[in-house]
Amino acid sequence: MPGAYARINQLWRERPQELIQLLRERRIRWRREPAVVRVEKPLRLDRARQIGYRDKQGFVVFRVRVRRGGFAKPRPDSGRRPKALGVVKHKVNVTMLEEAINRVKEHPNLHVLGGYPLTYDSMYYWFEVIAVDPYHPSVYNDRQLRIPDPLRRRVVKRLLKRGVKPIGQVLQPFEP
């Protein structure tokens, strides 16, 4: 008998009719929302946990909408404001997941752990991106949590400058 996360993963692969209907209803709602939305909990808990998500303070989940379509979109001849041109943010050598991650990187205090696709329609792809605030006390004091080594050293250096001695995370090496 598979565990809980294996069962969640299996449901997402099989796509039962209830899940398809639920995602259809949510896509209708999500189209009216901004392109980057912070959400309380991840929709795919199994993938979020694989990336490194923990249900504690300091972890942030974003749902990001990325426009589908070809990269060589012709630049319009007639005048319009730059926002409405629709020719920026789509690059040939950048995947849609990387594009979603880059939109979350606008938050300078967060370190992006990764992302995964949720669903798509004829216009958009939706991704969930997991980020962590390495300066949050519940993150840098956690002995179990592993963040990349250069980031960890930077966090420790800034905390020591502030007079805060972090425990736990300092001695743990990062192993991917």
pLDDT mean for each 10 residues of the chain (176 residues): 88 93 95 95 93 91 90 71 68 85 90 92 94 86 73 74 62 43
Domain shared by 30 and 112, yes or no:
yes
Domain shared by 98 and 123, yes or no:
yes
The pLDDT of residue 176 is 42
Look up the pTM and report it.
0.79
CA distance 112 to 128: 11
Number of domains composing the chain? 2
The pLDDT of residue 33 is 95
The pLDDT of residue 151 is 73
- The domain of 101 spans 4-133
